[in-house]
Structure 1
Amino acid sequence: MVSFQDANYRGSWCCQLILFFIWLPTFQDVTARETHAGPRQISTLVELAKEPISGESGLFEPIEISPAVLPKYPYPTEPLSPMYTSFPSSPNRYLPVLTGKCPVNFSVSDISNIIDKTASDCTGALAALVGNVICCPQFSSLIHIFQGFFNIKSDKLVLPTAASDHCFTDIINILSSKGSNGTMLPTLCSIKPSNLTGGSCPVKDVSTFEKTVNTSKLLEACSTVDPLKECCRPVCQPAIMDAALQISGRQMMLNDNGNVAGEMNHTDYLNDCKGVVYSYLSKKLSLEAANTTFRILSACKVNKACPLNFKEPSEVMNACRNVAAPSPSCCSSLNTYIAGIQQQMLITNKQAIICATLFGSMLRRGGIMTNVYQLCDVDLKDFSLQKAAAFGLQQGCLLGSLPQDVIFDNSSGFSFTCDLSDNVAAPWPSSSSITSVSLCAPEMSLPALPTSALKNIGCNSGGVGFLVPIFSFLIFSTLLY
C-alpha cells in the first residue's frame, strides 16, 4: 500500500520535472527579430466592412477610416485644410416677421442657440450641398427640441394643429432672417408642420407616457450617447424604438377591438410615436444635451445609406466590360460618369464606402469583373462634391462620419473640416449583389481559458511549495547569465 506521504513526495518530483523542462529553453540564445507585415496581412476595406458573424460576442467598435485603411499617398505634400467658403461672405440677416400666433419666446437663450446653429448649418445655397449630412439632421433636431420647449410648463408633448402651423412658419421665418435657406428646408428635409403635432400617435401627454413607458430606462440609455459606439452597439436607439412601440401599441389594441373606425398603417403612427419619444427626451434633457443626442442618432442613420443618385452607367459598361489592364477609353468613360456624381453633394467617408460599393455592384451586374477602381485610380473622395469654386472647394472633400456643424467666422466666412485621409482607394465589391454594408468591425471574442492538466497528475500544493526557492534561484541565475 502506498502511503499519503509517498504520494505527496512523488507529486512534488513530478512538478519539479515539469517546471525543469519549461525552464530549460531559457538557456538558449534567442535573438529578437523585427517582423514586417506583408501585403496579405493588411485588412482591406471590404474585409473590415463585413457583417459580424452570428453567434460571436464581445466588444466591437465602428471602423475609423483613417487608421483602418492605409491611404495610397501616406505622405501627402500638403494636408487638406478645412474648406472655407467665399460666397456668401456674410449671411443676409434681417429682423423676421412673425405671425404673432405662436406663444413662444424665441429669444430665450436655450432655444435661440439651437436656432442659430440650425441657421448656420443650413445657410444659403450651401444647405443643399450638406443637406443630408449636416443641415437636415440639425433641422430635424430643432423640430424635436421645439416640441418639448413649447410644452415645457405643461403636461403636453405635442403642439395643437393650429399652433403648429403658426410656430412652424415662425421657425422658418427666423431661420431665413439669420441667413438660412428657410423656404427650401421643408422640402429638402421632408419636414412639415404636422411633425410637431404627434400625428396619429395615441399618447401625447407626459402622464400617460410615463405610465406606459419605463422612462428611467429610456433616460439612462439616451442621456449620454457615445458617438463611437452608438451606431454599432446601439443603446439609445433601441430604447427609443421600444418606447415608441409601447405607446403605439395602445392604438393597435384599440384598432383590434374595433373602437377606432378605419384602418391605419402601423408604420405611420410608429414614426409619429418616435417623434413623441423625442419630445419627451427634449423635455427631460437640457436642450444642448438633447441636440447632441439627436445629432448622433441622425449620424448613425445617414451613414447607413448612400444618398447619391446613380443613373444607368451603360457607357461605362460598354467601355470597360472586357478590360483587364488600364484602358484610356474605359477610364475616360468612368471618370466622365463619376464627374456627374461629383456635382451632387458632400458626403461622409462612411457614405462614400457604401456608394462606391453600390456603384461597383452595378458595374459587376453589367459584366465588368475587373476592379476598374484600381485600374483608373478611383478614390473614395471621388464620390463626394468636387471643385465647387463658389465655396472654395478645389480638391474634393469627404466629411467625417461624426456630426459636425458649419461654422461662420466674420473674417473667413463659412467653414467645415474635411477628412484629412480621404485619398483611400474605393473598395471594389466581391459580388454583383449587395444588400447592405456593415461599417462595424467584426466582433471578437476571447477563447475560454484552458483548464490545467496539472491537477490530474499529482502536483499538489506541497510539491509546488518545495520548488519555489529552487525556481527563484534558477530565474536569478538566468538573469545573471
Structure 2
Amino acid sequence: MENGGRHWRSGASCIGYLFIFLFFLQPAAIAKINVDESNGVFLPEISPSKAPQPFMPFLAPSPLGPFSNVISPKLSGLCSLNFSAAESMIKTTAIDCWTSLAPFLANVICCPQLHATMTILLGQSSKSSGALAMDTAQANHCLSDLQKLLSSQGANDELGEICSLKASNFTRGSCPIGDVDRVESLVDSKQLLTACKRVDSVNECCTQICQNAITEAARRLALGSGQALEMGGALALPEHLYRVDGCKSIVMRWLTSRLDLSSVKQVLRRISNCNVNSACPLVFPDAKRVGQDCADDISNRTACCAAMDGYVSHLQKQSFITNLQALGCASQLGRQLQEMNISANVYSLCHVTLKDFSLQVGSQESGCLLPSLPSDATFDQFSGISFTCDLNDNIPAPWPSGSELPSSSCNKSITLPALPAATSGQSGEIKKYMGLGVILQSIIILLWFLC
C-alpha cells in the first residue's frame, strides 16, 4: 500500500532536536505552524483518570549533532562483524530509531529495520568466516558495538528494551546448526533462493512462497538431516518447534549472504511486515464504562459516545500503527465490546475512524496511519526527519460481524470499509522560530488490499 501519503519532517538546528508533528488537514487546505521551545520529554503518558492532552512538538535539550557531525564511537575491537559493509543499513536504522521517536515507530519501522540490519551483518560476515552465528562472549561485544554505532548517529539509547534486543540474537539460539557448510548440505539451496530472490510486496503475506521455503529449510536444520519433516508425533513437540523457530534466523542469515545487497533488505522487511500487520499492537484497557453506557439499546447516545471517545483517546497515545493494523485493532476492540452486550455499531454511532486508533498529534488531534508495506523514516540536513502517513481521510472503522477478521486482506469474503476516491498527501517542514506552510495534495489511490 505504497500510495500517496503524508510526510512528517522535523527540522534540525545546532542547539537542539526539533520534534515535529504537523497538524493533519483536509485536502487542499493550508496551515501555518509555530514551534514552541520546551525542555519537555516526547513521551505522553496514558492516564485513565485524566483527559488526554494534545500531542504537541517539543524542543529537546540536546543538539542534533549525530546526523551532521558523526563522532566515531570507541568500539571493543572484539567483534568480527564488518560494520562498514553495512554502513548504509546502520545509518538508515539510526534514523528509523531516532531518539524519542523510536518507541512510537518501534513496531512498524524501527525494530523491523534493526533486526534486518543484524541479519545482514551476520550474513555478510559469514562469507569470510563461514559462520552464521557467534558464541555468547563475542555476541555481547558485537551487540554493544552496534548499539554504540547507532547511538552515535542519533538512535535511541534503549533499543535493547524497545526492540527486545539481546546478545542471543547474534548466536544460533535454539538451532543446532550455525555454519554455512552444514546449512548448504541440509537445505535445498536452489529452491530457497528461487522462492526468496524476489518477495512479492503485495502477495507474499497471502501466498507465503518465501516464508514457506524458509520454514521448510528451518525444519531440515532443526532435525539435523536432509529429510523433510512431517510435523506430527514427536516432531511437533514444543521443544522441536522452538528449534525450528530458531533455525529460521539461521536460514535468513544464509539468504542475506547469497542475495544481492540492494534487494536483501526488501526481502527481510517484506517478510517481517507480514507478521507486523497480522496483529494489533495496542494494549486495550478496561472498557467497563463503555460497557455500562453503550450496552443494550443505548438509551443515552451522548453518554455512550463520550465514554467511547474517552476510551479511544487512551489508545491514541500509544504508537503509530499501519492501516492494516488499524483494521485489526478495530476488529479486536469491536469483538470485545460485543462480548459486553453492546450490539449496536458504536463505531458508526460515534464516528470512530481507522486513524482514531493511531497516535494523535497537533491541536486538531488527527491520527497518522503508516503504510502497510515497509517504509523508512528519512533524514535531510535541511528539513530533518520525515516519515510517511497513509490514509488521512476519515475511513470508518468496520464493526465486526460474526467471526470475520477485517485485518486479513487475504480473505476475499471480507467486506472492507468504503474507501474514498482519493487520499491526500501532506509534506511539511518546520524550522526553529518559523512556521512553514503545509500543502496538501490529492492523489488517486491505485491499490488498497491486493492479494
Question: What TM-score do you get using the length of structure 1 for normalisation?
Answer: 0.69
Mapping 1:10-25, distance limit 5 Å: none
Displacement after TM superposition at 1:80 (Å): 11
SS at match of 2:408: coil
C-alpha contact 1:209 1:247 (8 A) present in aligned 2:
yes
Cα deviations across residues 228-269 of structure 1 (Å, max 9, x unaligned)? 11111221110100100111012899xxxxxxxxx9812322
C-alpha contact 1:80 1:418 (8 A) present in aligned 2:
no
Instruction: Measure, in 2, the Cα distance between the counterparts of 1:146 and 1:368.
Output: 51
Within the candidate set 305, 326, 334, 1:352 is matched to 326
The alignment status of 1:310 with 2:284, answered yes or no, reads yes
C-alpha contact 2:322 2:372 (8 A) present in aligned 1:
yes
Displacement after TM superposition at 1:119 (Å): 0.6
The alignment status of 1:403 with 2:377, answered yes or no, reads no
Q: Which amino acid aligns with 1:100?
A: G
Within the candidate set 268, 271, 290, 1:294 is matched to 268
Displacement after TM superposition at 1:430 (Å): 1.1
The alignment status of 1:96 with 2:98, answered yes or no, reads no
C-alpha contact 1:304 1:351 (8 A) present in aligned 2:
yes
What residue is the counterpart of 2:119 in the other structure?
Answer: 144
Instruction: Measure, in 1, the Cα distance between the counterparts of 2:393 and 2:245.
Output: 35
C-alpha contact 2:360 2:368 (8 A) present in aligned 1:
yes
Mapping 1:273-422, distance limit 5 Å: 273-323=247-297, 327-387=301-361, 394-422=365-393
Q: Which amino acid aligns with 1:401?
A: S
Cα deviations across residues 376-405 of structure 1 (Å, max 9, x unaligned)? 11100000000268xxx9521101101000
Instruction: Measure, in 2, the Cα distance between the counterparts of 1:418 and 1:79.
Output: 17
Q: Which has the higher strand share?
A: 2
What residue is the counterpart of 1:430 in the other structure?
Answer: 401
Displacement after TM superposition at 1:204 (Å): 1.4
Distance 1:343 1:322, change over 3 A: same
Displacement after TM superposition at 1:76 (Å): 4.1
Displacement after TM superposition at 1:327 (Å): 1.2
What residue is the counterpart of 1:124 in the other structure?
Answer: 99
Extract unaligned runs of 5+ from structure 1. 1-61, 67-74, 254-262, 444-481
What residue is the counterpart of 1:475 in the other structure?
Answer: none
C-alpha contact 1:148 1:282 (8 A) present in aligned 2:
yes
Instruction: Measure, in 1, the Cα distance between the counterparts of 2:31 and 2:143.
Output: 39
Instruction: Measure, in 2, the Cα distance between the counterparts of 1:121 and 1:276.
Output: 25
Q: CA RMSD in A?
A: 3.0
Distance 1:184 1:252, change over 3 A: farther
Greater shift, 143-152 or 291-300, is seen at: 143-152
C-alpha contact 2:186 2:225 (8 A) present in aligned 1:
no
Greater shift, 368-377 or 154-163, is seen at: 154-163
C-alpha contact 2:324 2:407 (8 A) present in aligned 1:
no
Query: Is the radius of gyration larger for structure 1 or structure 2?
Result: 1
SS at match of 1:408: strand
Distance 1:400 1:436, change over 3 A: closer
Q: Which amino acid aligns with 2:384?
A: G
Distance 1:240 1:80, change over 3 A: farther
Taking every aligned residue pair, what percent have the same amino acid on both sides?
40
C-alpha contact 2:187 2:226 (8 A) present in aligned 1:
no
Instruction: Measure, in 2, the Cα distance between the counterparts of 1:147 and 1:79.
Output: 47
Cα deviations across residues 56-76 of structure 1 (Å, max 9, x unaligned)? xxxxxx99999xxxxxxxx84
Displacement after TM superposition at 1:95 (Å): 2.7
Cα deviations across residues 354-395 of structure 1 (Å, max 9, x unaligned)? 000100111110011000110111100000000268xxx952
SS at match of 2:379: strand
Instruction: Measure, in 2, the Cα distance between the counterparts of 1:80 and 1:219.
Output: 49
Q: Which has the higher helix share?
A: 1
Within the candidate set 167, 172, 175, 1:198 is matched to 172
What residue is the counterpart of 1:461 in the other structure?
Answer: none
Distance 1:422 1:196, change over 3 A: farther
What residue is the counterpart of 2:195 in the other structure?
Answer: 221
